[in-house]
Chain A
Amino acid sequence: MEIRGFKNHPYIPNSVPAVQQEMLAEIGLSSLEDLHEEIPEELKIKGKMDLPPAIESEFELRKHVESLLRKNKSCKTNVSFLGAGCYQHYVPAICDEINSRGEFLTAYGGEPYNDHGRFQALFEYQSLMAELLDFDIVNVPTMDGSQAAATAIRMAGRITGRGEVLIPKSMDRDKMLVMKNYGKPALKLIEVDYDEKSGRIDLADLEDKLSERTAAVYFENPNFFGVIEEEGEKISALAHSVGALCVVGVDPISLGVMAPPSQYGADIICGDLQPLGIHMNYGGGQAGFISTRDEERFVMEFPSRIFGIAPTCVEGEYGFSDVAYDRTSFGHHREHGKEYVGTQSALWGITAGVYLATMGPAGMAEVGDTILKKSHYAKQVLSSIDSIKTDRFTGGFFKEFVVDFSQTKKTVTEINNALLQRGIFGGYDLSKEHPELGQCALYCVTEIHSKEELDRLAGALREILEDGGNGRVK
């Protein structure tokens, strides 16, 4: 009989035939084929799956995957101005050092004793984020910022017993789609216009759409266009005036310099942790946070795990455990718990904790300051190019700003292609998501961009736009 399988595979100790025979004999079988007796013959795969052959040596496997990855052009070897929800910030070495630790990397659902360190690291993450947000409660992170926003508005729906949520028309379409899919059928999302000039929420439209049916007003600061919503206090007061909650999405790296939403009336704050020490990972570095005050009516609506500090039977010893575990779907009530919980993005929570502990108050203030200055400088140098408009929105901004190419007679696609030839990833093309803006792109500038790179961008754009309109490299 043909012996099937892959014997002596390095990841599978008992793929050694002699050991298999010994174990099979112990359970009264003679061959691996005698296993799976419970699976009906008609459901069994006949023959072998059609997959490429194994790359047997680790060396060749590494070479193969490296050869595929070499087809990628990274933001490390090019200059990127892409943002729109995923950001290139400096990742301190210590963040990768800690999230590469095998103990954290390979832990999962252990108990507060043998996984004491996992519980402590996540409790500390929650506590550090709470200081950054100037709020009390932060969850063990959910999948990404869009899920955090989706859950935040579901929480608001349950707390108020209402079914409408006002969202900004300026927001990321993809994030809106996540919220829509998740909110249905409990919540109806209603878009609030933005002021065409400033780029901020149109307060008159907001007031018109608020009603006794409104569960929450959701807005972002800075918003998707990078514009700062100056009237946070007014928006939250308006929401509260009809008994709705104020839910604010925020970029956490802005909070060393910008006021946290808790200080202008937010009831729930949410966002994405990725800027805090996590690589972009082609969108795989996202992780969502949700934060509230320490009030039972809020805490009990979180679907996520929340770790708390607890005494042990030994004087002076810290322990950590789940806070109000039974509100989650892991508790005794299953689907009658709050939404659902499962594997999400805990390692990025630990990483964001390491980042905040390393940065400290001074680091967060300085990174915010540098981002503000560099992004404003970038806008200033781009504004010197005649055919493009950098004041499409006049509102103040943080990190990202809209550049209007509509008068260049070129599309953002054409301009970005020309930039790409020069080793520059141009800003995110807004023309599909926000066609009302014409040919606009969202440029992102962070602490990692140098003056030379920003000047180079301006030079490249000048060349592309002023080179008789054909955009070729000179």
Chain B
Amino acid sequence: MKRIDRSNKVRSFHQARWNESVIFELSQKGERGILIPKAGSGIEEALRSTDQLLSDKMKRKTAPALPEISQPRVLRHYMRISQETLGADVNIEIGQGTCTVKYSPKVNEQLARLPEMTELHPKQDPATVQGILQIMHETDLYMREISGMDRFTFQPSGGSQAIMTMAAIARAYHEKNGEGEQRDELITTIYSHPSDAAAPAVLGYKIIYIHPDEDGYPDFEAFRTVVGPKTAAFFVANPEDTGVYNTKVKNFTDLVHQNGGLCGYDQANANGLLGVTRAKEAGFDMCFFNLHKTFSTPHGCGGPAVGATGVSKELVPFLPAPLIDREGDTYFMNTDFADKEFGIGKVRLFNGVAPVVLKAYAWMRSLGAEGLYEVAKIAVLNNNYMFKKLMEIPCVDAPYTKGKQRIEQVRYTLGKLTEDTGITSGDIQRRMMDFGMHYWTSHHPYYVPEPATLEPTETPSKEDIDEYVATLKQIFEEAYNDPEIIRTAPHNSVCHQLDESEMDDPDKWAPSWRVYLRKTQ
């Protein structure tokens, strides 16, 4: 037999395409997906009357128009559309910058699905949930060590809710000091996540943006002019979404403190910093980690998640209650720590997304301090290796800090490619799917022209990174030689180019099947 040639650096790929119906179209009258336990004759007979358990007024008169589908057909439908989803388990996950999409260990998922986790009710007697309380308490201790903060809550169920929580804590702190009304401004930067502005704005804060200086660091001179007696807090990511670490971060936090404000650290980009540097030493009073990102738990199409939020001692009384404490060998829910008048109360029912905390705990236990340090080092090594490889391509550039390292990601620009060929970063995004790759541009608005934000994390191999770069290279060549194939992409993804022209038109948009049927009659 002749040796089969596998020297091609770029993958021949086609994603699953089932051309699947919308689930309502599968309905067949009379089919059942599952049968339900009945009350049973014992109960029926014992009940004095069963017809008046609901008043006529409150009875549903017509059954909901749900589809009627037998179980194998429901399963097959969802299996097919799951295959039409490019999760991190199946692709080289480099393209979703800022999201830290890394390997989520299967053992952790299996552990989180044991009945001793899934079948716990949050109002059970603490004596019956000592295992999960211990896990939550110890995860709090590890987070404190990783960040230098003094206490963590796991109630915020995502990074954005964590930002809202930090803003609520800042509000409570200033109110207690009698400065609640006066301090109505919150400062952030344009390269921090949009939620660093949007979530505090929900609580009434006026948002002030700091733009970068020439080197890409938040402009300290501009910052100096806006920090003052109205400043409630400064919320910032570091590194920012450009991958640039603000070396003078301490000057920023010092200035805020001198002016009576608080500093909140968006640690969505912490993956390159574990065991290397901490929130506390950089002068932050609060921070949060996305357990679904840095701590691997995974992303679940966008949650369930946890934005583990830590604060310094001074701010502990404002945290949402309860916290998990330990007395001797017993773990308990503590509500006594909370400031009765100014504490923020609650940001989520119960006590957070426990299985996510469990998975983060197991992930940390598998790594230990040396492993977390290895994670950070390799995330940064992978990123800087890919950075060098991509910057060798003439049409690729990355604004700011020329010749210096980035932390765990880089925001590139394809401005030159667009000038040369008319192909945009959005076009490249669609074409990358033809090779089974994710590729993300940037949050809006685009401050970097034709942006691409790539974050390899620690979990791709060198070969994976080389494949990702080779694929991009091939597409850039296509841009110069055969741009039509990019403009009309994707070709090998699940579906073809969308016509999104009606998505903003209230007369035509179709956000549910019933609305679609109504508007397309």
Contacts and interface: CB of A to CB of B under 8 A. Distances in A.
Interface in B160-183: 160-161, 163-164, 168, 171
Interface of B is mostly: loop
Contacts of A147: 157, 161, 348
Interface in B82-99: 82-90, 93, 96, 99
A257 B60 contact: yes
Interface string A182-194: 1011100000000
A369 to B, nearest CB: 7
Contacts of B277: 36, 39, 43-45
A294 B511 contact: yes
A281 B374 contact: no
A381 B43 CA distance: 10
A372 interface: yes
Interface in A151-206: 154, 172, 174-175, 177-178, 180-182, 184-186
Interface string B209-227: 0000000000000000000
Given A11-B366, A114-B433, A365-B63, A280 B54 contact: no
Contacts of A100: 109, 113
A100 to B, nearest CB: 7
Those 10 A-B pairs whose CB atoms lie nearest each other, nearest first: A342-B160, A283-B350, A54-B368, A283-B122, A117-B84, A329-B198, A102-B89, A71-B131, A177-B345, A358-B33
Contacts, number: 728
A186 B302 contact: no
B121 A88 contact: yes
Contacts of B436: 114
Interface in B116-134: 116-125, 127-132, 134
Interface string B340-384: 000011111111111110100110111111111111011011101
19 contacts: A14-B381, A39-B245, A40-B250, A62-B110, A84-B123, A90-B36, A103-B83, A117-B83, A177-B345, A256-B63, A281-B353, A282-B120, A313-B497, A324-B504, A339-B202, A340-B194, A347-B304, A350-B301, A360-B31
B337 to A, nearest CB: 16
Contact of B47 (A80, A154, A296, A377): A377
Contact of B23 (A128, A306, A331, A345): A128
A136 interface: yes
B131 A68 contact: yes
A455 to B, nearest CB: 9
A326 B497 CA distance: 20
Given A107-B86, A310-B503, A380-B47, A70 B131 contact: yes
B66 A143 contact: no
Contacts of B384: 27, 35
Contacts of B354: 281-284
A74 B120 contact: yes
Interface stretch (B72-80, B257-265, B409-417, B478-486): B72-80
B394 interface: no
Contact of B44 (A96, A348, A373): A373
A12 B458 contact: yes
Contacts of A474: none
A207 interface: no
B101 A106 contact: yes
Interface residues of A, number: 216
B158 A344 contact: yes
A330 B199 CA distance: 12
Contact of A72 (B130, B351, B504): B130
Contacts of B405: 35-38
A344 B302 contact: yes
B36 A367 contact: yes
A51 B119 contact: no
A117 B82 contact: yes
A238 interface: no
Given A38-B405, A111-B433, A258-B60, A58 B198 contact: no
B111 A122 contact: no
Contacts of A102: 87, 89-90
A177 to B, nearest CB: 4
A141 B399 CA distance: 37
B281 to A, nearest CB: 5
A144 interface: yes
A94 B32 CA distance: 13
A12 B374 contact: yes
B61 interface: yes
B503 A72 contact: no
A65 interface: yes
Interface string B140-173: 0010011000000000011111011000100100
A372 to B, nearest CB: 5
